[in-house]
Structure 1
Amino acid sequence: MARWLLIGVVVGLALLTKEGTFALIPLVGGTAVLSQWQAYRAKTEGGDLTWRQWLAVLGRGILIFGLTMIPALLIAGWWYARNLNLYGDLLGWNAFIAVLGQRAHPASLIQLWSERRGFLMAYWGLFGGVNIPMPAWIYAVLNGVLVLAVAGFVVYVIQLLKDWKFVVTSFQSFLSNLFLFVERYFALVVCFLFASAVVYGLIKWAATTWSSQGRLVFTALSALCVLLVVGLAGWLPPRPSRWIVGGLAGFMFAVAAAAPFLWIQPAYATGRYTEIPAPTETAVTFGDKMQLTGYELAQKDAQPGDEIDLWLEWKVLQPMPRDWSVFVHLTDPVLGVPIAQRDMYPDQGLRPTSLLRPGERIVNFYRLRIPDTAVAPADLELNVGLYDFETGERLVLPDGRDLVMLDMVRLTAVPGQTPNPVSVNFEKGVELVGYELEPRRAAAGEPLNLTLYWRLNRPLPEDYTFFAQVVDEDTTRWASQDLPVPTSAWETGQVIPVPMTLTLSEATPPGVYPIIIGLYTLTEDGSFARLQRITADGRPTDDFLQLTLARVD
């Protein structure tokens, strides 16, 4: 019994560490029943058990399982009780979702499959804040090994089933054969069931949140590695098996040993930029602490979807006990808010200002991407400043301003047959090819006139309702319209304008609000079936598009 209590301690510690280890609980229960079957089978000298004996096996197994879970409950139970008390959720998932964010539309298996590339990269090795990858060829090799291992595992299991002699004369004999099989391949069965349960849990989690990352199955990493090796070598003769496993282990060891020096350390090396190619000199002082001595803007003309490169040169004037972040904004003067921005500590985010010494000069590089749906033409302001991320406080200039406008970027429209040409694909071949919003700034109670330009890339047999909404951060709708459109009558390839009017509520508070759009049809039970957006690489994503912004005065 001491061993079972020790197992309970291990399970309790596991449950306190990772929620994915809940899969251990049914495995412990199954193992307890299996152990009692072994004891009864020894008494019958290998014969089939009677129904009474099977009931005894089940009862004793449940009893042992219950006793085993006592230390697990004592160690980890308080934590899950706390989750239930604080969040109303045993696992605390709602608290996680509040921080991580939730998919607007639960992901299907097809959508999760489309996210496999990022999942596998994070499984094999994606360092830093999942933003420092290894060379692509390493992922290609490891993914190839995985494909071979999956195929090999199927071959291995088929061989096992062929070699196993099932003699079934009654349901009791079927149970006996099943338990004999589990007993013989106990380690493999446990690894497979545990890994499957962890992967299933991740699928449920990733369907709700944007978290298709392979690192989240590391709870079952040891079991997955066992299955990988079995798939690669379990069905082969011993000699080639040793060479295959040894070669893979050597390759993975070499990659792991090289990673800190070849990819991680260079990504965090300071002083990557030491000078500006052709700077425009400035002398802008922020709070007597930092001085902007020069900048270079790579281009002053751009179109929606373009990237703007900027270099800033700073001089440290005084020691700073607080850490100030540099912000770079491309601000739309009509809205008064940035449409593209980049915030980071000096030296590419690697050196907090509290570590800087007076007299130091630091060059930072910034790349800002203008959204594809940005309104053009427009004159965007390039604004720079420093702020405290914790409090939002900004360092001020001698004249009291909290930012400096360095330059202007002229945003011109992409050539096309519609205003503000875009290419946003939805399911079933529906494509948004342009839009127009007039005015972009209005008072509460006034209308916003929105025209959407749509094109069908293949026939659409159903009629859809188009929606547009002015929403707040908490999804409060301050204006909306749902417009039924006979899309089934549209011709393929033809651009169709769909005018909509969004009349702002009289109670709309002043501020800048996103406008979201999409289309849906009603199902037989009256629920909304929205079309999902399709990314450029073919992945389904949200069932709406945040199109642009509007200011309410």
Structure 2
Amino acid sequence: MKHVPVALRWLLPVYILLALLYNYAVPIWESPDEWNHFGMAHFINVRGELPVQIVGQPRPYGYGQEGSQPPLYYAIAAALIAPFNRSDYDEREANPHAIIGDPGGMGNKNFMLHDAVYPPPLRGTQLAARFVRLFSTLLGAVTITAVYFSARIIAPDKAWVPLLAAGLTAFNPQFIFISASVNNDNLVTALNSVVIWQILVMLRDGFNTRRSALIAVLIALATLSKLSGLVLMPIVALAGLWLAWRRQDWRGLFTLGALVVGVWAVVAGWWYARNLVLYNELFGTQRMLDIFGRRPPPSWQKMLTEELEGLRISYWGLFGWFNVFTVRPFYWIMDLVALLGTGGVLLHLWRNRRQAEKLFRALLLVLFLAIGAASLISWTMQTSASQGRLLFPFITAGSTLLALGLSSLRIPAPAIVAPLGLFALAVPFVTIMPEYAPPGPVDSLPDSATPLYARFDDIELLGYETPQQRYGPDDIIPVTLYWQPVEQSDLDYSMFIRVLDPTDTIITSVPSYPGYGSLRTSTWEPGHIYPDYYPVRIPDDAIGHWPLRLHVGWWKFPEGFSLDPVDTDGQALSSVIFEGGAFAASDDAQETVTQMIDPVDFGGSIRLLGYTLEDNHLRLLWETIGAMQEDFTVLIIALEEDYQVGGNNKILAQGDAQPPLPTRYWREGERFISDHILNLPETLQAGTYPVYVGWYSTLYPARLETNCPDNACLLTIIEQP
């Protein structure tokens, strides 16, 4: 222990504790492709052989496209899980409404259904998977160690650089997340990192047969772990050529080359030869694409915007199945750190432009990272793969260069490492666990909820909560429903929330298991009241303005039959719909009328600006001059003769109507149109008939005050021929 640097003595234990926390926080199968990776290990353990990838044929145990990957990680994992009883392996069930690959989605982050999340049941397959996660965590510790010693060789005169490089790796939330999951990236990342470290040692100390043999074995193992290990080949070749030229040691170069080629042929060559025999290709990638799926190459504009954004975000922290963001400022801060580090690297290269050894070592890391990035871009052009974790096999170069750049700008390591470590500690509590924890039951319907009863088979709706406010495009409507299961259901039902416009057109719909995917009707407990929260996003292309109505119901997915609601007396309900505020994409400021008038104010809140009268259709243009607390109705009447206060005024036609957007949602300065129909009697004699306008409350018998008799103003005269 005395030979372990002080920085690693505290860095590695803290990293391991963080990885254990992430292991706990992330339910099994909730990291990218984890169930496929474990499925591959399970297959090897059960069958004792590698799978043959045949398009269109089922792949038992769910290994999917991972059956095309080099097998070393899976072979080790297969040995690790051998002592565990995995008879429950096939009991896992996917979430049919999971939103995968979309971090902007509002829920259903869980790829699988989990009946017990915190604490997890440590038995059977669950325990086996978490044990393999521990192996991944140890591989992460190897990576951190290799990064530290690589950085110490790159910057021997800068004490902060090794600590900063190792800290940027150990406390990267995404690195911890992947290191606490079943994923073959962990093995190739560790092996690549150790190889880079040993190459740097070789450049410093010269050729050594033992070291050359070690490098050869590690490269062979890396290429047997994942194709990312092949990137080491040009790096070790270039490093060997440089060293041989600088020291005129061509024998050392020959020994290195012979060992790398020979060991690779013996240790890893068989797997690549197998690909040639089975799939007529060396790497097996085309067969992998046949199974996983191809996509048309994205445009370079998309690559430099959407794809690059996803890559840089997911390098630092995008959890779940590429669908769980952490707090946005974190990404901005790390973007700034990366930009500063890049600038610092350029400064370092310029300062050392005449120091060949230093310059070459740094440029070798740049080349390693560049080749790795180029290989990822090539893969991304063929399938969706813009995930930051795919750069981790080159993290020794990335972290070391970033630390070198920041150090060149005199940024001390603790200023980066300490906050990053604290944030990594917070992520499981702030970001990860809230996405998977099911809602806990409550004792009764809260006072803030609106009671609303409906029964769907064995499920009762007791009430709901949603703010009665105005929303716009891309806004989120927070909806909480209160469910009470009457009896344990034998089936898992899906519920839905639909946003309806006045014509009953569905504006958006949220299908889900209860708890936004975290509960099941076959497992929740009868008699408990479950608050079920859903943030419902309005589409960003929604138009118009109208009252929002929310429609809720239940059905069996995917069969399609619905559960018909009934009321407290058991009488059938056609549907369960309640108010959800109002939607307004904009006001009617662009609308025009044919006749503008001297403005008339009503109640100090609404102003009439003009109208259009065509046949029996009257259109009024209003402007809001003050806030309103209720929904007023426009009074429109056509009289037989001029209005008489206190008189017996005979109404010939009446066209009262509320505007499309209820008035309590109007905002000062906005303009809105209201439309009215005035159907005069067909037997009406020729003459002129006055039309009056006003506003009245539906809560109490009063009109909004204006300077007209009885608060009804003459608008126009209808001439009846």
Q: SS at 1:161's partner residue? A: coil
CA distance in structure 2 between the partners assigned to 1:339 and 1:22 by the alignment: 50
Note the aligned Cα RMSD (angstroms). Answer: 4.6
Note if contact 2:213-2:256 (Cα within 8 Å) is conserved in structure 1: no
Determine which of 60, 69, 72 is the counterpart of 2:268. Answer: 72
Q: TM-score, normalised by structure 2?
A: 0.43
CA distance in structure 2 between the partners assigned to 1:118 and 1:401 by the alignment: 49
Residues 409-420 of structure 1 mapped to structure 2, 5 A cutoff = 414-415=586-587
Note if contact 1:273-1:365 (Cα within 8 Å) is conserved in structure 2: no
1:362 deviation in Å? 0.7
Note if contact 2:498-2:550 (Cα within 8 Å) is conserved in structure 1: yes
Q: SS at 1:26's partner residue? A: helix
Residues 50-129 of structure 1 mapped to structure 2, 5 A cutoff = 64-70=259-265, 71-75=267-271, 78=274, 89-90=285-286, 92-93=288-289, 95-98=291-294, 102=295, 106-108=298-300, 112-113=304-305, 117-129=309-321
Q: Hey, what does 1:329 align to over in structure 2?
A: 498
Note if contact 2:352-2:359 (Cα within 8 Å) is conserved in structure 1: no
Q: Hey, what does 2:659 align to over in structure 1?
A: none
Note if contact 1:346-1:353 (Cα within 8 Å) is conserved in structure 2: yes
Q: Hey, what does 2:347 align to over in structure 1?
A: 155
1:127 deviation in Å? 3.3
CA distance in structure 1 between the partners assigned to 2:353 and 2:367 by the alignment: 17
Note if contact 1:326-1:344 (Cα within 8 Å) is conserved in structure 2: yes
Q: SS at 2:352's partner residue? A: helix
1:356 deviation in Å? 1.5
Note if contact 2:219-2:260 (Cα within 8 Å) is conserved in structure 1: no
CA distance in structure 2 between the partners assigned to 1:118 and 1:379 by the alignment: 36
Cα 1:412/1:123, change in 2 over 3 Å? closer
Residues 279-318 of structure 1 mapped to structure 2, 5 A cutoff = 279-286=450-457, 288=458, 290-299=459-468, 305-318=474-487
Determine which of 231, 234, 238 is the counterpart of 1:23. Answer: 231
Note if contact 2:492-2:521 (Cα within 8 Å) is conserved in structure 1: yes
1:257 maps to 2:257 = no
Q: SS at 1:340's partner residue? A: strand
CA distance in structure 1 between the partners assigned to 2:590 and 2:291 by the alignment: 44
Amino acid at match of 2:318: L
Amino acid at match of 1:200: A
Cα 1:308/1:246, change in 2 over 3 Å? closer
Amino acid at match of 1:69: W
Amino acid at match of 1:24: L
Q: SS at 2:539's partner residue? A: coil
Q: Hey, what does 2:404 align to over in structure 1?
A: 230
Determine which of 372, 375, 393 is the counterpart of 1:198. Answer: 372
Larger radius of gyration: 2
1:152 deviation in Å? 1.4
CA distance in structure 2 between the partners assigned to 1:141 and 1:264 by the alignment: 20
Q: Hey, what does 1:373 align to over in structure 2?
A: 541
Note if contact 2:275-2:282 (Cα within 8 Å) is conserved in structure 1: no
Q: SS at 2:517's partner residue? A: coil
1:225 deviation in Å? 0.8
CA distance in structure 1 between the partners assigned to 2:279 and 2:588 by the alignment: 54
1:228 deviation in Å? 1.1
**Whose RCO is larger (CA < 8 A, sep 6+)?**
2
Amino acid at match of 1:319: Q
List runs of 5+ in structure 1 lacking aligned partners.
Answer: 44-55, 165-180, 420-553
Which range moved further: 311-320 or 378-387?
378-387
1:347 deviation in Å? 2.7
Q: Hey, what does 2:392 align to over in structure 1?
A: 218
1:278 maps to 2:474 = no
Deviations 1:23-66 (A, max 9, x none): 22322443555576578x247xxxxxxxxxxxx99988765553
Amino acid at match of 2:525: R
1:270 deviation in Å? 3.9
Cα 1:7/1:62, change in 2 over 3 Å? closer
List runs of 5+ in structure 2 lacking aligned partners.
Answer: 1-208, 592-721
CA distance in structure 2 between the partners assigned to 1:350 and 1:68 by the alignment: 49
Q: Hey, what does 1:346 align to over in structure 2?
A: 514
1:406 maps to 2:573 = no
Cα 1:88/1:375, change in 2 over 3 Å? farther
Q: SS at 1:106's partner residue? A: coil
Deviations 1:320-358 (A, max 9, x none): 46544332233679897x441223332343333444122
Deviations 1:104-126 (A, max 9, x none): x7232575157655543322223
1:245 maps to 2:440 = no
Q: SS at 2:515's partner residue? A: coil
Note if contact 1:32-1:65 (Cα within 8 Å) is conserved in structure 2: no
Amino acid at match of 1:265: M
Q: SS at 1:92's partner residue? A: helix
Deviations 1:347-401 (A, max 9, x none): 3433334441221211112232332434657898744334555x44555337899
Q: Hey, what does 1:483 align to over in structure 2?
A: none
Deviations 1:244-302 (A, max 9, x none): 1244333322222232234433454443795562324212223x3x2222234544986
Q: SS at 1:90's partner residue? A: helix
1:230 deviation in Å? 1.6
Note if contact 1:319-1:357 (Cα within 8 Å) is conserved in structure 2: yes
Q: SS at 2:369's partner residue? A: helix
Amino acid at match of 2:268: A
Cα 1:362/1:76, change in 2 over 3 Å? farther
Q: Hey, what does 2:66 align to over in structure 1?
A: none
1:154 deviation in Å? 0.8
CA distance in structure 1 between the partners assigned to 2:589 and 2:526 by the alignment: 55
CA distance in structure 2 between the partners assigned to 1:261 and 1:412 by the alignment: 36
1:14 maps to 2:222 = yes
For these two proteins, the number of residue pairs brought into alignment is: 374
Amino acid at match of 2:393: T
Amino acid at match of 1:283: A
Cα 1:144/1:318, change in 2 over 3 Å? same
Cα 1:282/1:198, change in 2 over 3 Å? same
Q: Hey, what does 1:358 align to over in structure 2?
A: 526
Q: Hey, what does 1:422 align to over in structure 2?
A: none
Q: TM-score, normalised by structure 1?
A: 0.54
Cα 1:380/1:137, change in 2 over 3 Å? closer
Cα 1:186/1:297, change in 2 over 3 Å? same
Cα 1:87/1:220, change in 2 over 3 Å? closer
Amino acid at match of 1:327: F
1:224 deviation in Å? 0.8
